[in-house]
Amino acid sequence: MRKTILLFVACVAYQPFLIAQNVGIGTTTPASRLHVRGTGGGTQIILEENAGSVLRISNEANAAGPYIGTTSNHPFSFVTNNAVRLSLTAAGNLGIGTNAPQKMLSVAGGAVVDQTNSNTGTSTNTLTFGSQSGEGIGSKRTAGPNQFSLDFYTNNQQRLTITNSGSIGIGTNTPHASSILDINSTTAGFTIPRMLKTQREAISNPQTGLMVFDLTYKTIFVYDGLNWMPLVPGSAEGLSGGPQSPADNTSGSQFGYSTAIDSLWAIAGAPAQNSSVGAVYIYQRNNGIWVETAKILPDDATPQLFGASVSIDYPYAVVGAPGHNTYSGCVYVFFHNGSSWLQVNKFFKPTNNVPLNYFGNSVDISGLHLVVGCPGADDVASNAGAVYTYRFNGSNWLFQNTLNGPQPTNANAAFGTSVAVAGTNIVAGAPGYLASANRTGTVMFYLFSGGGWNSGTPLAPLSQKQGIITKDYGAAVDIHHQPGSLYNVTVAVGAPSTFYDFSNVSDIQNIGALFAFWGTTNGFDPDNSGIEIPFVEDVNYPQYENSRYGAAVAISHTGTGNNSYPGTVITVHAGAPGLNNNKGRIYQHTIQSNFDLSSGLATGGFNLSNNSTIVNGSGNSKLGSALDMFDRFFSIAGSPGSSVNKGNIIFEY
Each residue's pLDDT tens digit, 420-470:
999 999 999 999 998 655 568 999 999 999 889 999 999 988 876 667 788
Q: Do 488 and 546 belong to one domain?
A: yes
Q: What is the pLDDT of residue 506?
A: 67
Share of the chain above pLDDT 70, in %: 78
Residue 541 lies in a domain: yes
Q: How far is CA 358 from its chain centroid?
A: 37
Mean pLDDT of the chain: 83
252-307 pLDDT tens trace = 999 999 999 998 999 999 999 999 999 999 999 887 788 899 999 999 999 999 99
The residue among 121 and 324 whose pLDDT is bigger is: 324
Q: What is the DSSP letter of 580?
A: H
Q: In this predicted structure, which of 176-190, 447-461, 516-530, 593-607 has the lowest mean pLDDT?
A: 593-607
In a domain, 579, yes or no: yes
Instruction: Determine the distance from the C-alpha atom of residue 351 to the mean position of all C-alpha atoms in its chain, rounded to a whole number.
Output: 40
Note whether 83 and 153 are same-domain residues: no
Within a domain: 344: no
For residue 209, CA distances in Å to 178, 371, 377, 386, 559 come to: 18, 34, 49, 44, 17
Q: Are residues 163 and 59 in the same domain?
A: no
Q: Please name the amino acid found at residue 475.
A: A
**498 and 599 co-located in one domain:** yes
Question: Are 53 and 99 part of one and the same domain?
Answer: yes
Tell me if 632 is assigned to some domain.
no
Peptide bond into 408 cis (omega under 30): yes
- Mean pLDDT of the 114-139 span: 64
**Cβ-contact 618, 643 below 8 angstroms:** no
Are 214 and 88 found together in one domain?
no
Say whether pLDDT at 526 is over 70. no
Which of 406-420, 436-450, 595-609, 630-644 has the largest mean confidence? 406-420
Q: What percent of the chain has pLDDT over 90?
A: 44
Same domain, 466 and 612: yes
Per-residue pLDDT of 207-262, as tens digits, reads 989 999 988 777 788 887 777 777 754 333 333 456 888 989 999 999 999 999 99
Residue 423 lies in a domain: no
pLDDT band at 568 (very low <50, low <70, confident <90, very high): confident
DSSP string, 360-374: TSEEEEETTEEEEEE
Neighbours of 399 (CB within 10 A): 13
- Whether 541 shows a pLDDT value over 90: the answer reads no
Q: What is the pLDDT of residue 325?
A: 97
Task: Give the whole-angstrom CA distance, residue 617 versus residue 634.
Answer: 19
Highest mean pLDDT among 78-87, 98-107, 430-439: 98-107
Burial of 52: CB neighbours in 10 Å, binned 0-12, 13-18, 19+: exposed
Are 225 and 87 in a shared domain? Answer: no
Q: Are residues 177 and 198 in the same domain?
A: no
Please compute, for residue 361, the number of CA atoms within 13 A of its CA located in the half-sphere on the CB side.
25
Same domain, 163 and 40: no
Amino acid making up residue 116: T
Question: Residue 240: inside a domain, yes or no?
Answer: no
Count of domains forming the chain:
4
Residue 2 lies in a domain: no
Q: What is the pTM of this model?
A: 0.71
More confident residue, 643 or 405: 405
Q: Which residues pair with 542 in a beta bridge?
A: none
Q: What is the pLDDT of residue 504?
A: 63
Q: Count CB neighbours of 248 within 10 A.
A: 11
Element (H, E) at 81: none
pLDDT of 437: 54
Domain of residue 533 covers 461-616
Q: Are residues 138 and 85 in the same domain?
A: no
The reply to whether 178 and 199 lie within a common domain is no
Cα separation, 387 vs 368, in Å, equals 16
Q: Say what the pLDDT of residue 83 is.
A: 76
Q: What is the mean pLDDT of residues 177-185?
A: 90
Does residue 59 register a pLDDT over 70? no
Does residue 145 lie within any of the structural domains?
Answer: yes
Tell me, what's the pLDDT at 30? 80
DSSP 188-243: ------EE-HHHHHT-SSPPTT-EEEETTTTEEEEE-SSSEEEE----HHHHHT--
The burial of 503, by beta-carbon neighbours within 10 Å (0-12 exposed, 13-18 middle, 19 or more buried), is given as exposed
CA 348, chain centre distance (Å): 35
